[in-house]
Structure 1
Amino acid sequence: MLAVFEKGVANPPEELSLPAAGRPSLRARKEIAEIFQSWRRDSTLYGLSNGNFMALSHEGEFPLHPRSIVVKDDIFCIFTGSLNNTCELRRHYGLSRQVTEAMLVIEAYKVLRDRAPYPPDQVVKELEGKFAFILFDANAANLFLARDRDGFMQFHWGMAGDRSLVCSDDPKIIMEACGNCYAPFPPGCLFMNQNGLISFDHPLHKVRASVREDNEGKICSVIFQVDLYKRLHSIPRTGSAANWAGATVVEGE
């Protein structure tokens, strides 16, 4: 799977661009789409506004952890992997037996979008299994990414030459698109373009980017990890918002 979104939509962490210092320009969105389609002849590409796109290929997928895409109400969701508690989640959201994992993620996102304040970490925390997904709400321009706790499913994100965000479960594709300006998407985390990167098991702890340097002292890679020693303070709320565990947070002193 592959998704590429311009910086104005995705608002990716600036740390993803750190290894690019002093290096030639990387691929642009159109080039990345052409490369993916040439490498994955069975791929289907979903063009979005302003040159953004999502693409899906079934090449090399595992039968027990397939890839799928669902488009509903202008919400696009690519899901790879499987959930262990699908039946329970269908009952929780009042859905039929025919609802797939990708459909379920869309319905869970709608609850998050329409019943605010509602904690995004609680939505993903309910998902049990091995998974990664990319969801884009075209009407609201909301991007939603997540990866399972154990990081079983491959999932990477990086920054292209035009500073677009690139997401893929194929390390070869993302290396071709982003050079070394990419990192594994941190396990047990979610990203929303409005909220940033959050650990859904430790939502009150900051997810930090750590840089790694080569022998010459140049930044060669970036990795994102939950800082369990730095706790964030939630903003005090009243009324129903007081029960919102995933409140907007600011870094503690």
Structure 2
Amino acid sequence: MLAVFEKSIGKPPEELRLPSVGFGNSKSSSREEILKSFRASWPESSVYNLSNGNFMALSRENDAYSPPRSIIVMEDVFCIFIGTLENTSELRRHYGLSRLATEAMVVIEAYKVLRDRAPYPPDQVIKDLHGKFAFILFDVRNSTLFIARDRDGSIELQWGMAGDGSLVCSNNPNIIREACGKSCSPFPAGCMFTNGSGLISFVHPLHKVKAIAREDDNGDVCGVFFQVDLYTRIPSIPRTGSASNWADSTVVETE
């Protein structure tokens, strides 16, 4: 799985750049170069080219030890889903989907309900997804990017910042390191990210997710990871856009 979005759309957290501050980012890969390298390694991959060099891709290679994966497009909403949902049947009934609907289709439908009607906070909807999963969703019509990883971090997912400031997401650490150098980090378990509201814990939605720098023996920042700060509470996420921008809806704690 690989998704790359220019800085103006992906809006990666600046903390991802921390390990390269003072040393320069040794990787200056552009979106085009990252895609070229990916295609060279996995020539049979499914690639969806979006505007301005942004893209989403999924390798077709799979084996008995790899989690299920799929990429799907519905009404200009793209979704890459890796893993499985334990309550797929229940979610199909809830969203009025057929028995043939895949996990990726369920995620897209959940997103569309939130986007168009927003009956409840997005963190509550992600809590309703039970299983081992990671997904990347992009809505072309309003340039909304939505990323999430299950609460146990069962599926590998990393993100980083390329040399041109693009956001890079992949379940393959080698791809991230090649594209981003040191400017990368595991995507935190139990969290979701949108380019409207940033990084939020759907397990603890009223607590801030903070970046923590790791230092080597010389005191230099050698890495960064994100962690929920249980001592810092966020009273709400203010609505800043129209009703159609569900990513800015108020979050209600349901712990």
How far 1:51 moved relative to its partner? 0.6
2:15 corresponds to: 15
SS in 2 for 1:31: helix
1:226 corresponds to: 228
1:54 corresponds to: 56
- Asked if structure 2 preserves the Cα contact closer than 8 Å seen for 1:61 and 1:67, the reply is no
* Equivalent residues in 2 for 1:1-253, closer than 5 Å: 1-21=1-21, 22-23=23-24, 24-60=26-62, 62=64, 65-116=67-118, 118-234=120-236, 247=250
- Asked if structure 1 preserves the Cα contact closer than 8 Å seen for 2:206 and 2:251, the reply is no
Q: Which moved more, 1:20-29 or 1:31-40?
A: 20-29
How far 1:25 moved relative to its partner? 4.3
What letter corresponds to residue 184 of structure 1 in structure 2? P
What letter corresponds to residue 250 of structure 2 in structure 1? A
How far 1:217 moved relative to its partner? 1.6
2:246 corresponds to: none
- Number of residues of Structure 1 aligned to a counterpart in Structure 2: 242
Distance 1:227 1:56, change over 3 A: same
**Structure 2: runs of 5 or more not aligned:** 244-248
TM-score (norm 2): 0.90
- Asked if structure 1 preserves the Cα contact closer than 8 Å seen for 2:108 and 2:137, the reply is yes
Q: CA RMSD in A?
A: 1.9
What letter corresponds to residue 20 of structure 1 in structure 2? S
Tell me how far apart the structure 2 counterparts of residues 135 and 157 of structure 1 sit (CA, whole Å). 14
- Asked if structure 1 preserves the Cα contact closer than 8 Å seen for 2:27 and 2:180, the reply is no
**Structure 1: runs of 5 or more not aligned:** none
Deviations 1:152-187, CA, capped at 9 Å, x for gaps: 100000000100000000011111111111000000
How far 1:63 moved relative to its partner? 6.0
Q: Percent identity?
A: 63
- Asked if structure 1 preserves the Cα contact closer than 8 Å seen for 2:185 and 2:223, the reply is yes
Distance 1:64 1:14, change over 3 A: closer
Tell me how far apart the structure 2 counterparts of residues 64 and 99 of structure 1 sit (CA, whole Å). 21
- Asked if structure 2 preserves the Cα contact closer than 8 Å seen for 1:156 and 1:183, the reply is yes
